[in-house]
Chains A and B, each alone.
Chain A
């Protein structure tokens, strides 16, 4: 088991965005996390990646308790994530964005950088090589020298994915990777996700596009009002009564 949350809870004031959430992700699995708007999906991702501190509950990653560790520690432990609203280094070119993302791989040495030692330069070359590979991998070679702020939205999503991949994540959290982009761009992103998947990276996917979720995921967790209401294979979830009532409203059955 790669990730396990027990009774994970997050309160925003009086509102329980996530309450008593238990879930697990096995190594190599692709798990979908779906639910209507406001179900707490993004909050769960923020909790696991350390951008929010949980009110109570535990997160165990790789047999280590990582509850309420800061985001950069989580990243160093191997939790990569993308964002719903993609933040990036807008004034950098695509390539420079990816180069910056690889700096985690090379230990930073202050004096080495200032005196420009050969060790530092070797590392720098190594990073550039790695960045080149990542650029190729997600299929952004065409946009290499474009400033990130001038990229089309779909390419920004790809760049976001590239940044998450740069830290060589054991667990990749994808927060609506194809939200709000054109169908051509969706294909590009899906192709990249497929490649990641074939490498055996464990993925937690949050997405509203049911077709994609159903076709990609091994297992699906459904959340509503911060609670888990169903879990199982795509087929099981599709037939679940609670899920149907959460999406289409209860009581009135067709």
Chain B
């Protein structure tokens, strides 16, 4: 009953000026953040932004009815391709990062094509295998990839000059990277939002709900699912490549199974049904273990607990918390009104000394 009420709330209820003002305020706040945050917090914020890109791109794959358990692997492909090109060929990261994204997208396309006969849980199982395999693949070319120890001293982003007015030096401090990731994530979110709320998004959701109905109206169901995978993995690749040039060190464990599962936890706890879900989920769940240093070793346990609790208590994710609260407030209001009614009735009863049943009848009539 409760759940049904929430699902029938139209999603564009809050659309309009309010949302735009909120978004603008938040973005301005994010742009001003380096003014009052320390370097460690800036570092955390940068990585949070990167994870928001990852989780949101995972969600695009999710809404097409596929839960990928190897999303971090595609991030790894982007990171490794970009790092190897920058290290061995000496290309600037500004070129290798998009190439990393493209590499992840092409890999996703190839894998998507071969997996596209598998739906739902079978796809998840295949992607699980992929997530495990890709970290092992690093060992096949040990000279190129640095094997299990990973790649070190990856060049950072080059200096950029915008119209000879603004010179951004990425070597001097970490703050330009924060802005880089902020702009990148805003762009990514903008594109993903357009994808989801356009005809493409509707097709993705349609395929997820019924592949029979979708193909009966001429939607090439396999192609649509491959497209979703390709879009999602492109942004994962871009995020991974940017990450490589930010931390200048990558190792296979960063892109293994656990990071992929963390991304899924962020997504599910945040709420899969809403565009804001992965953003909220990532922000809260990524920051909690890092901000509470005493928690550090127990982070996986905490995340597991949060996941279980949210599946039981908030199946629609953290985003639905707001709806829940308004629902409860309404209930409390109703209850208060009822109490008022009762007390009025009692007063009336005291005055007239009539049996309460008669007053009730009067009220009704």
Chain A interfacial positions (CB closer than 8 Å to B): 49-51, 70-72, 75-76, 80-81, 83, 87-92, 96, 99-101, 103-104, 106, 108, 110, 113-116, 120, 124, 147, 163-164, 166-167
> How many angstroms between the C-alpha atoms of A29 and B152 in the bound complex?
73
Q: Is the CB of B203 within 8 A of A103?
A: yes
Residues B197-222 near A (CB distance < 8 A): 198-200, 202-203, 205-206, 209-210, 212-213, 215-221
Q: Is the interface of B mostly helix, strand, loop or mixed?
A: helix
Q: Is the CB of B199 within 8 A of A108?
A: yes
Q: Is the CB of A91 within 8 A of B216?
A: no
Q: Is the CB of B215 within 8 A of A72?
A: yes
Closest Cβ of chain A to B193, distance in Å, is 10
> How many angstroms between the C-alpha atoms of A206 and B199 in the bound complex?
33
Contact partner, B217, options A70, A103, A106, A116, Cβ 8 Å? A103
B20 within 8 A of A: no
Q: Is the CB of A87 within 8 A of B221?
A: no
Chain A residues within 8 Å of B195, by CB: 113-114
Chain A residues within 8 Å of B8, by CB: 147
B191 within 8 A of A: yes
> How many angstroms between the C-alpha atoms of A70 and B221 in the bound complex?
10
> How many angstroms between the C-alpha atoms of A80 and B215 in the bound complex?
10
Contact partner, A51, options B191, B198, B210, B212, Cβ 8 Å? B212
CB-based closest 10 A-B pairs = A75-B218, A113-B198, A104-B218, A71-B215, A87-B210, A87-B212, A87-B213, A89-B209, A76-B218, A114-B194
> How many angstroms between the C-alpha atoms of A190 and B8 in the bound complex?
30
Q: Is the CB of A166 within 8 A of B200?
A: no
> How many angstroms between the C-alpha atoms of A103 and B202 in the bound complex?
10
Q: Is the CB of B215 within 8 A of A116?
A: no
> How many angstroms between the C-alpha atoms of A20 and B215 in the bound complex?
27
29 A-B pairs with C-beta separation under 8 A: A51-B215, A71-B216, A75-B218, A81-B216, A87-B213, A88-B213, A89-B205, A90-B209, A90-B210, A92-B209, A96-B202, A99-B202, A100-B217, A103-B199, A106-B199, A108-B199, A110-B200, A113-B195, A113-B198, A114-B191, A114-B198, A115-B194, A116-B198, A120-B198, A147-B7, A147-B8, A163-B216, A163-B217, A167-B218
Q: Is the CB of A167 within 8 A of B217?
A: yes
Closest Cβ of chain B to A180, distance in Å, is 18
Q: Count A/B pairs, Cβ under 8 Å.
A: 88
Chain A residues within 8 Å of B209, by CB: 88-92
Contact partner, A49, options B199, B205, B216, Cβ 8 Å? B216
Bits for B169-200, please: 1 = Cβ < 8 Å to A, else 0.
00000000000000000000001001100111
Q: Is the CB of A113 within 8 A of B194?
A: yes
Chain A residues within 8 Å of B205, by CB: 89, 91-92
Q: Is the CB of B200 within 8 A of A113?
A: yes
Q: Is the CB of A124 within 8 A of B206?
A: no
> How many angstroms between the C-alpha atoms of A166 and B213 in the bound complex?
12
Q: Is the CB of B191 within 8 A of A124?
A: no
Closest Cβ of chain A to B13, distance in Å, is 13
Q: Is the CB of A101 within 8 A of B217?
A: yes
Greatest chain B CB density within 10 A among A51, A70, A96, A101 is at: A101
Bits for B216-244, please: 1 = Cβ < 8 Å to A, else 0.
11111100000000000000000000000
Q: Is the CB of B203 within 8 A of A108?
A: yes
> How many angstroms between the C-alpha atoms of A115 and B191 in the bound complex?
9
- For B207, the closest partner residue in chain A by CB is A89
Q: Is the CB of A72 within 8 A of B220?
A: yes
> How many angstroms between the C-alpha atoms of A147 and B199 in the bound complex?
19
> How many angstroms between the C-alpha atoms of A164 and B216 in the bound complex?
7
A51-B212, A71-B215, A104-B217 given; 7 more Cβ-contact pairs under 8 Å: A72-B218, A83-B213, A89-B206, A96-B202, A106-B199, A163-B213, A166-B217
